């Protein structure tokens, strides 16, 4: 757990809004990124991210430290929020909407001509839900196997298998040789 985080959480549990605000500042970008890569729409991602933090704030008394950063709990809330979102919408994102996937803050291009950020983003979006999760958590956010397992409520072995399949599928979608 990041220095001072425990203190912030304790203060937030007591109802101190400013403490929760600091947790928001610390984790909102990565939760937004997680949601955005799963829903593929900036505005939907903004709305859902807001809901994630709203739910976290209202349920923070249910949080209990389990050896991982506070973000693990937020990721779990975010996962369920996205699941609910799709359940409510009862529809998958149409192909024309996938084309809307664009990076707001352009990152440096890769050296590979055939593999760019846009293609990878669209490919991630075509993965199954849990495979998207593991790609984001393990390879974008650099979470440990243990932490990813905790968020996905799986064993480390299951997560290893999941990430192997996710990478394999991602490569298939991108037409890359394994």
Partner 1 sequence: MDKDLFKVLKELKNIQPDLDYSKQSRLLLLAQTRNDAEKDAELRGNIFRVFYPAKLALAVGIVILILVISGGVYYINNQLNQNDLVVKASEMNASIQVKLNEIRYLLKNNPQPDTESILAIQVLLEKAANELKEVSALGDKDLNESLKKIDSTREILYQIDDILKNK
**114-153 footprint of partner 1 as x/- string (CB under 8 A):** -xxx--xx-------------x---xxx------------
Nearest distance in Å: CB 91, partner 1: 16
Nearest distance in Å: CB 58, partner 1: 4
60 binds partner 1 (CB under 8 A): yes
**65-94 footprint of partner 1 as x/- string (CB under 8 A):** ------------------------------
Among 27, 36, 68, 75, binds partner 1 (CB under 8 A): 36
Q: How far apart are CA 125 and CA 107, in angstroms?
A: 19
Q: How far apart are CA 75 and CA 146, in angstroms?
A: 14
Q: For partner 1, which is the closer residue by CB, 57 or 86? A: 57
Nearest distance in Å: CB 14, partner 1: 10
CA-wise closest residue to 123 among 169, 177, 178: 169
Q: For partner 1, which is the closer residue by CB, 25 or 96? A: 25
Among 64, 66, 95, 108, binds partner 1 (CB under 8 A): 108
18 binds partner 1 (CB under 8 A): yes
Cα angle 176, 177, 178; round to 5: 115
Which residues contact partner 1 (rule: CB under 8 A)? 15, 17-18, 20-21, 24-25, 28-29, 32-33, 36-37, 42, 45-47, 49-51, 53-55, 57-58, 60-61, 103-108, 110-112, 115-117, 120-121, 135, 139-141, 167, 170-171, 174, 176-177
């Amino acid at each position: 757990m990041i220095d001072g985080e425990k203190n912030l959480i304790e203060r937030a549990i007591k109802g101190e809004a400013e403490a929760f605000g600091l947790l928001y500042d610390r984790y909102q970008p990565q939760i937004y990124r997680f949601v955005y890569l799963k829903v593929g729409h900036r505005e939907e991602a903004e709305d859902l991210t807001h809901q994630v933090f709203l739910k976290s704030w209202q349920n923070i008394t249910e949080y209990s430290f389990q050896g991982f950063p506070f973000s693990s709990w937020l990721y779990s809330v975010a996962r369920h929020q996205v699941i609910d979102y799709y359940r409510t919408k009862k529809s998958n994102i149409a192909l024309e909407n996938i084309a809307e996937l664009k990076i707001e803050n352009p990152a440096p291009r890769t050296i590979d001509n055939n593999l760019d950020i846009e293609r990878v983003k669209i490919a991630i979006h075509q993965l199954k839900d849990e495979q998207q999760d593991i790609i984001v958590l393990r390879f974008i956010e650099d979470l440990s196997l243990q932490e990813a397992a905790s968020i996905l409520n799986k064993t480390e072995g299951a997560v290893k298998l999941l990430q192997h399949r996710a990478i394999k599928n991602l490569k298939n979608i991108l037409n890359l040789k394994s």
